[in-house]
Amino acid sequence: MTPGLEHFLTVGAILFCLGLTIALSKRNAIGVLMGIEIMLNAVNLTLLSFARFGVGHGPVTGQAFVVFIITVAAAEAAVALALAVSVYRNRDTIDVDKMNLLRS
């Protein structure tokens, strides 16, 4: 039995739900970032599976979106980690509930 489109979409949905659960339940900023990265990778898996099984406008559409998402995810991770380091230096914590730097 070869895996079909349904199998890849199921794995993508499970990964997305797992990432959403992690992002919403963690109080640590690094844990929230890891959950967001898992969600982005689930979207990448879904786009590649649609491109592989021919559901779309062109053969390269899914791969182009995946490259764009990976680029955005790398930039997001770099900026978010820099912000986490900056907040840690100022507040000595990376607990999301205690980050109130933007409140006046």
Top CATH class, 5-94: mainly alpha
DSSP reduced 3-state for 26? coil
Q: Is the pLDDT of residue 91 over 80?
A: no
Give the confidence band of 90 by pLDDT, cuts at 50, 70, 90: confident
pLDDT digits (tens, 9 = 90+) for 13-55: 999 999 999 999 988 888 888 999 999 999 999 988 888 887 6
**For the chain, which residues make up each domain, given as ranges?**
5-94
Q: Mean pLDDT across the chain, nearest whole number? A: 84
42 contacts 13 by C-beta, under 8 angstroms:
yes
Q: What percent of the chain is predicted at pLDDT more than 70?
A: 89
pLDDT in the model for residue 103: 58
Residue 100: predicted pLDDT: 67
Taking CA atoms, 77 is separated from 30, 60, 69, 94, in Å, by 10, 26, 12, 15
Q: Report which secondary-structure segment, H or E, holds 21.
A: helix 5-25
